[in-house]
Amino acid sequence: MDDSQLLRYSRHILLDDIGVEGQQQLIDSHVLIVGAGGLGSPVALYLAASGVGHITIADHDVVDLTNLQRQIAHTTERVGQAKVASAAQAMHALNPEVRVTALNHKLDAAQLNALVPTVQVVVDCCDNFATRQAVNAACVAHQVPLVSGAAIRMDGQLAVYDARQDTSPCYACIFPPEETPEEVRCATMGVLAPLVGVIGTMQAMETVKLLAGIGSRLTGKLQMLDGRGMEWHEMRLQRNPHCPVCGPAHHKTTTA
């Protein structure tokens, strides 16, 4: 790190858990963010501000006026722009040193399998069940930690799935792919603006901890926030031995 970086990241470096070595790990890291909306906005901004050296952000949507109630990476002037381009502009305004790769399209399984092995952490900020399953499958296949968040109405949830740990469940263990839920979207259900900020900021925090080698206490747990009463509930998650994604039968097939 040069003098400018030492000054920019000085408040991280003062932390015993991070220090110079941990900050350098952040600078040397590559993170994939899937989704540049309500959750992806605070994740992208905080990871850029924290000094993550390379951030790839993927989203096929454009900025709409209805997004601005909660998607803080975007501005009124950028309505109509691709969300990834708008987010990249906001990230560079915070930290021009960060390398941003903006992917203005949906990621399919082949693209995920090519991209996920190049990153250290994947952050799932999307609102589509099929995409979540595809992201999870790629993370399991390449043993890359997945930081997953969701928010709707006044309820949020957060979990970390780490395929590097034998005891960690994956997203499909908890939300089986064959049990396709009814899609719940902010456009039809509504969402409290600061709620996505709370969950997205926590996703960013867990990502920074994983990158800096601090670890994550949330691996194998699901945290749920009731925004009305500001109450957190935590559920321990068990790995499903018959999971079609991370179960032993699938593992033998994919590694043979």
Q: Would you list the DSSP string of 4-51?
A: HHHHHTHHHHTSTTTHHHHHHHHHT-EEEEE--STTHHHHHHHHHHHT
Report pLDDT for 134: 96
- pLDDT band, very low/low/confident/very high, at 256 (cuts 50, 70, 90): very low
pLDDT band of 109, cuts 50, 70, 90: very high
Pairing of strands 54-58, 146-152: unpaired
Enzyme catalytic residues: 186
Residues 176/129, Cβ–Cβ less than 8 Å: no
CATH number where 37 lies: 3.40.50.720
Tell me which residue range forms the domain holding 225.
3-255
| Alpha-carbon distances, residue 231 vs 20, 203, 220 (angstroms) | 36, 18, 20
Which single residue is written with the structure tokens 């949906």? Answer: 106
Global pTM value = 0.93
* Tens digits of residue pLDDT in 8-53: 999 999 999 999 999 999 999 999 999 999 999 999 999 999 999 9
The total of structural domains in the chain comes to 1
Q: For residue 188, is pLDDT > 90?
A: no
User: Can you say whether residue 35 is alpha, beta or left, with left for phi > 0 and alpha for psi between -120 and 50 degrees?
Assistant: left
